[in-house]
Amino acid sequence: MTKHKLVVVGSSQQWSFSNLPHFLPIINTYLELEPYQENKHYSPDTVFLIFATAYDQAMAKRFEDKKVIIDLCVEGLFGKWGELYKIKSPNHCIFYGSVIENPPDGVVSVANFFWYNEALGNIARGYNTSYAPDKNFSKKFLMPIGTKRGWRDHVVDRLDPYLEDAYWSYVQRGVSLPGEAPVAKRYDQRYFNPMWYNDTCFGVVVESYNGQRLTAEVPVFVTEKTFKPISGLQPFMVIGGAGILEYLRSQGFETYDNIFDETYDTETDFDRKLDIVIDNIQHYVKGPYSTKTLKKIKHNFNLFYNVDVIHRGIVTDIVQPIVKFIEK
């Protein structure tokens, strides 16, 4: 099979399907990745892959007559990263990591990037086999938060009466989870402590974005935060943009309408969303999971770590759009 070549421009700490070791065995099956050399002459049909952190107006101008893929799978089409779409050249294509219904020309949605990345990364660490739940249900919920944002402050303020019965963190406000790794390891956002999951009944996910869906500026964005309780064998609620649970269900995951009022997922008023989440917290009774809940937990865990599904997804969501872009 002839492989298409991508010339990768620049070095970057940005996570990418082109530099993460657990992605590369799959990507290298279909694509040939070659580091860019400044003084090398490239043929006119060369296709370049540029990290979004290196892509600006100057870079867009420099490569304006070339085919370019801009890799932004770790961010969504909104906020400052949405601005890249406004400056890109017409023959450049951006791969975003958010749900984008009816993507505009020059945009590809890789909405499951974080699923694939988290699962493959966890497998590489052995997290998929090393955790055997030993639940005691002593706390109601687990709520890790890292970066400080105004709306996250509001979440913490609203949930304050219930935090004594929770494990929670807010790293940029100096609040750590119990038994957390040393400060130097806090930057390992994928650090896993079994105690956090053994002692808590469910996860409260505070996602990266809390806006509403169905506009170009504020798409559904599902990050590693939502997949942590799935990999930790827990039920969960998600505080984020409307439609996250709906999207998860569309991908085959099950949500927990048997124990939570999940109408919060469609609520576009943020305080009303929090009202429903808080009501769910208040009425939750600590104790062993029902048979139905256990089935959902197991189903989600098995789907999350299904390497065949992940492999097919990477081919469908990343490789095929790249090949289509190259061949058009």
**Which string of DSSP letters, residue by residue, matches 239-287?**
ESSTTHHHHHHHTT----TTTS-GGGGG--SHHHHHHHHHHHHHH---S
Asked if 113 contacts 97 with a C-beta cutoff of 8 angstroms, the reply is yes
The amino acid sitting at 310 is: I
pLDDT, position 282: 98
How big is the chain, counted in residues? 328
Are 247 and 226 within 8 A, CB to CB?
no
**Residues of the chain with confidence (pLDDT) below 70:** 1, 181-188, 211-219
Beta pairing partners, 144: 169
- Find all residues with CB under 8 Å of 305, minimum gap 6, and list them: 119, 122, 123, 128, 231
Which residue segments constitute the domains of the chain, with CATH numbers given?
Answer: 4-110 (3.40.50), 127-306 (3.40.50)
Query: In angstroms, what CA-CA distances link 6 with 36, 74, 97, 289, 303?
Result: 9, 19, 20, 49, 31
Contact 153, 175 (CB under 8 A): no
Burial (0-12, 13-18, 19+ Cβ within 10 Å), 273 = buried
What is residue 19's predicted lDDT score, i.e. its pLDDT? 87
Tens of pLDDT, residue by residue over 115-135, are 999 999 999 999 999 999 999
End-to-end CA distance of the chain: 19
**Alpha helix stretches (DSSP H) within the chain:** 24-30, 57-62, 79-87, 113-125, 127-130, 150-159, 194-198, 224-231, 244-250, 270-283, 291-304, 307-314, 320-327
**Nearest alpha-carbon partner for 217 in 58, 88, 104:** 104
Residue 215: predicted pLDDT: 41
Q: Please report, as a single letter, which amino acid is at residue 29.
A: T
- For 307, the 3-state DSSP assignment is helix
Whether 125 and 186 have beta carbons less than 8 Å apart is answered as: no
pLDDT, one tens digit per residue, over 131-156 is: 999 999 999 999 999 889 999 999 99
Mean pLDDT score across all residues of the chain: 91
Geometric angle at alpha carbon 227, from 223 and 229, rounded to 5° = 135
**Identity at 271, one-letter amino acid code:** D
Each residue of 277-318: pLDDT tens digit?
999 999 999 999 999 999 999 999 999 999 999 999 999 999
Within 10 angstroms of residue 181's Cβ, the number of other Cβ atoms is 14
Query: Residue 176, class by beta-carbon neighbours within 10 Å (0-12 exposed, 13-18 middle, 19+ buried)?
Result: middle
